[in-house]
Amino acid sequence: MHTDIKWVFKAFDALTTRELYRILQIRNEIFVVGQQILYCDVDDLDMEAIHLMGIIDDKLIAYCRIFGPGIIEPDACNFGRVGVIPSERGKGYGKSLVYQVQQYLRLRWPKLTTIIHAQHYLETYYADLGFQRCSGVYDIVAIPHIDMEWNHENQQYNN
């Protein structure tokens, strides 16, 4: 994996004001501006999440939020708001980010599964990381999505 990136996991209450600002900034840049999605990104779920930050030279370049069972899915884990800033894409940081999430979830809840609500165009991307499609296509804020599942015990990360 990449040695130049530092991965930091933090609960909401452990985030500094500066870290929270950078998280909201990157999510705004990627989802609201970059994908032109008009929705309220800030929600109460942030307070229930573990926030994973990928940092290079004190700059947040990759991010996602992670949820244990019972927060998004009743009996499964979940993660979302996965993103890498445009200037750092194509360097493998997105796959490294998901790998970090998978390792965290495998250690924390080894017998569970993770279900994600992936944008449909990313189906092959997540399939390469061990996820399997488990739903039909549906819309979230007018963007086609699918559910994908990853079993913590049985599937490995495909490097």
Residue 72 belongs to domain spanning: 6-151
Pick the most confident of 29-38, 67-76, 133-142, 148-157. 67-76
SS3 content of the chain, % helix, strand, coil (to 5): 35, 30, 35
pTM score of the predicted model: 0.90
Per the structure, how many domains does the chain have? 1
Whether 157 is in a domain gets the answer no
Q: What is the pLDDT of residue 33?
A: 72
Whether 19 is in a domain gets the answer yes
Q: What is the pLDDT of residue 112?
A: 95
Q: What is the pLDDT of residue 31?
A: 79
Joined tokens for residue 121? 């165009």
